[in-house]
Amino acid sequence: MANKITFIGAGNMASAIIGGLIDSGVEPSTITATAPNDNELATIKQRLGINTDTDNNAAVADADVVVLAVKPQIMRNVCEALRDSVQRQQPLVISIAAGLDADTIDQWLGGQNAMVRCMPNTPSLVGYGASGLYANAKVSDAQRDVATQLMEAVGIVEWVEEEALLDAVTAVSGSAPAYFFLMFEAMEEAAVKLGLPAATARRLAIQTALGAATMAQRSDKDPATLKQNVMSPGGTTERAIHHMEEAQLRTTIADAMQACADRAQAMATELSGK
């Protein structure tokens, strides 16, 4: 693992990854996070025991890895203000911003940087993250290993060799925790209508998702077969699944994921000015 990691931004995604890193045994004193707001930093410092700084340049000065974890809309300003420090220090730069391409961020940072683009997701906080990674030509094999180790500390890693595929990764895993949370909300609401207390419904729905995910992960059977195994002919599950298929659930999911990937691409165009 890298000696010193600096996170520029200390919000939802950065704190999820930092929390996961610490749980996996990374020494908190090797991690620094920055944000403009002292209160936000005091909270994360108290909770995770890491170093914090309101000065991005100071935090980059001795970093081996810099993780850019600010909103895409402010990335340009943040990077341009970091240009001199990054050019001096030459760290491995990892951007987790949706959409923005490696080349654009590299240019904002002065060019010629070893850049990894990563699309993580918030379950990194509990060690069940799923990240897609892409490296530009400046990234060495050793730096690729560092990026892999960093994100494997909080979940699974898949490398893509075509940068555009990160938009598909955003659709299938980056944004996808929200799809499952929506499903939990909908199942809880429906179960309450069927008469269950909300807390009971929530517990049962979440445990069932965990069970289904664990089975799908451990089984050598594909999801279609596992689904079929639950569906007794003429039984209850068949009725429910039939209803979902009739309501075009698959099309809804495909359309939603297409909209997600399209939005990533549109954000890149809007923000890079290309």
Ligand X SMILES: NC(=O)C1=CN([C@@H]2O[C@H](COP(=O)(O)OP(=O)(O)OC[C@H]3O[C@@H](n4cnc5c(N)ncnc54)[C@H](O)[C@@H]3O)[C@@H](O)[C@H]2O)C=CC1
Ligand Y SMILES: O=C(O)[C@@H]1CCC=N1
Partner whose footprint covers residue 91, from ligand X, ligand Y, none (CB < 5 to 8 Å by kind): none
C-alpha distances (whole Å) from 229 to each of 42, 186, 217 are 51, 24, 16
Point out which span in 18-26, 75-83, 138-146, 168-176 binds ligand Y (CB under 6 A): 168-176
One residue of 14, 174, 188, 257 binding ligand Y per CB under 6 A: 174
Q: How far apart are CA 219 and CA 230, in angstroms?
A: 14
Closer to ligand Y by Cβ: residue 44 or 268: 268
What span, in angstroms and rounded, lies between the C-alpha atoms of 272 and 274? 5
Contacts with ligand Y, 49-88, as mask; x by CB under 6 A: ----------------------------------------
According to the binding rule CB under 6 A, does residue 98 interact with ligand Y?
A: yes
Residue 139 backbone dihedrals phi, psi, to 5 degrees: -80, 125
Q: Which residue is nearest to ligand X (CB)?
A: 11
Collapsed DSSP state (helix, strand, coil) of residue 210: helix
- 268, 100 Cβ separation under 8 angstroms: yes
Choose one: 114-122, 229-237, 245-253, 255-263; the region binding ligand X (CB under 6 A).
114-122
C-alpha to C-alpha distances, 244 to 79, 193, 208, 236, 240, nearest whole angstrom: 46, 18, 18, 13, 6
Would you say how long the chain is, in residues? 274
Q: How far is the CB of 54 from ligand Y (least distance, A)?
A: 24
Q: Which of 22, 60, 63, 78 binds ligand X (CB under 6 A)?
A: 78
Total residues contacting ligand X by CB under 6 A comes to 27
CB of 121 to ligand Y, least distance (A): 7
Q: Which is nearer to ligand X, 95 or 113 (CB)?
A: 95
d(CA 190, CA 148): 41
DSSP 107-165: HHTTS---EEEEE--GGGGGT-EEEEEEE-TT--HHHHHHHHHHHHTTEEEEE-SSTTH
The residue among 12 and 228 lying less far from ligand X, judged by its C-beta, is 12
* Part of the chain binding ligand X (CB under 6 A), chosen from 21-29, 45-53, 66-74, 235-243: 66-74
Instruction: Please give the residues from 201 up to 230 whose contact with ligand X meets the rule CB under 6 A.
Output: none
User: Can you give the binding site for ligand X, defined by CB under 6 A?
Assistant: 8-14, 34-37, 40, 56, 69-72, 74, 78, 96-98, 119-122, 174
